[in-house]
Structure 1
């Protein structure tokens, strides 16, 4: 999943325990279908909305949904704007230094390229990626030409308007865009640059993490998690 590059600023503020509150606030981006998006009714929708609601029910928690821009999603968890992150966030060592994670609720999702031509040479072109993701870091590490944008939609727009030759993002996100647009093509080349996706929580909330861990495990055990993954086509099943 998208990999947020954590800066020292994320360490500057801490918050209290979510378990002392009546409502657990579920933080998501709301801009990354099919993982999470805002539907026509103005509500959070998608795989993670359905998953999160079920996890809250199994954990016997009252939950509400909060949206936050991707580039500040970890700092605002730490500062107490919400109590969890459920936003297609891969578990990484770097993030784990700042926040805690539940066990993964999807296996790793490959990153793919979307372009206007099936024979586009990504190594010799300009590649767009969302700011503060490991896809962006991957392109930079290869020494290729990188352009970054704040939102996923802007990366695809950059390909359309000629600012970039291709975009690198989660395959599940780009596959939907390719299916809806005859002039956009998923390239055969893929990159495995991420780990499994989990819920992020403050390090001061071990009890909440344990509740969600148990709920995720129960969904794995009864097969309902794989059913959701298949329904929304976000990753391979367990």
Structure 2
């Protein structure tokens, strides 16, 4: 689970969102299919399409910015953007620092990926790579297995290839396409169910904005359009 500096929550009191302003959506841009930069250098993926639709339904003018994962919550709290929409699982620890909308995906299984030929790996005693400040890193730490953390998801994959780690633990929807496209990488049959689904993160002082996005998410659940996006981008089970 994400290690958070709880004292940063106080900054939220001075970083409130003004409803007349443009809403800035912060994402990582490095975690397909949730969010990534396409060949044109533009933010793309499931959350780009979802965020644009939610802003339209909420009648909000929105713009997108990218931010490194390891500072994505502190920079929300300090006012660099107004919303996190970055494949962030809802957890009690994060909810102590920021607020969340309702989930827009179901809890996504986490999977282990290893070098092909190492399918018999016992993960309980293996060296596991995970991205820093993720629910997967917290899970490995709680499991008691040796953990190596990296700033980006690409670095976790490289660690397996170089032998620095025996396996990487990450969202299955992220790892599955990589395993399919690379013969040297294979998913283990063991999955882990961690977290309570993915939601939009906001400052605790921005209740009005959260309510607008909550209503927009609910409307997409009600008319089935959210399920259509989930199926299109293959980001887990539908509602």
Work out whether the TM-score is over 0.5.
yes
Q: TM-score, normalised by structure 1?
A: 0.96
Residue 203 of structure 1: aligned partner: 204
How big is the shift at 1:12?
4.7
Q: Does 1:8 align with 2:9?
A: no
State the number of aligned residues.
236
Whether the 8 Å CA contact 1:201–1:209 is kept in 2: the answer is: yes
Contact residue 111 and residue 135 of structure 1 kept, 8 A = yes
Q: 5+ unaligned residues in a row in structure 1: which ranges?
A: none
Shift of 1:121: 1.8
Instruction: Say if 1:5 and 1:134, in contact at 8 Å, map to a contact too.
Output: no
Whole-angstrom CA distance in 2 between matches of 1:182 and 1:6: 37
Mark the runs of 5 or more structure 2 residues left unpaired by the alignment: none
Deviation at 1:21, TM superposition (A): 4.1
CA distance in 2, matches of 1:5, 1:29: 18
Q: Does 114-123 or 154-163 show the bigger shift? A: 114-123
Q: Secondary structure at the match of 2:65?
A: strand
Corresponding residue for 2:126? Answer: 125
Rounded to whole Å, the distance in 2 between the matches of 1:229 and 1:20 is 29
1:164 equivalent to 2:165? Answer yes
TM-score, structure 2 normalization: 0.96
Q: Aligned pair in 2 of structure 1 residues 195, 174: CA closer, same or farther (>3 Å)?
A: same
C-alpha spacing 1:124/1:198, structure 2 compared with 1 (3 Å)? same
1:36-115 superposed matches below 5 A: 36-115=35-114
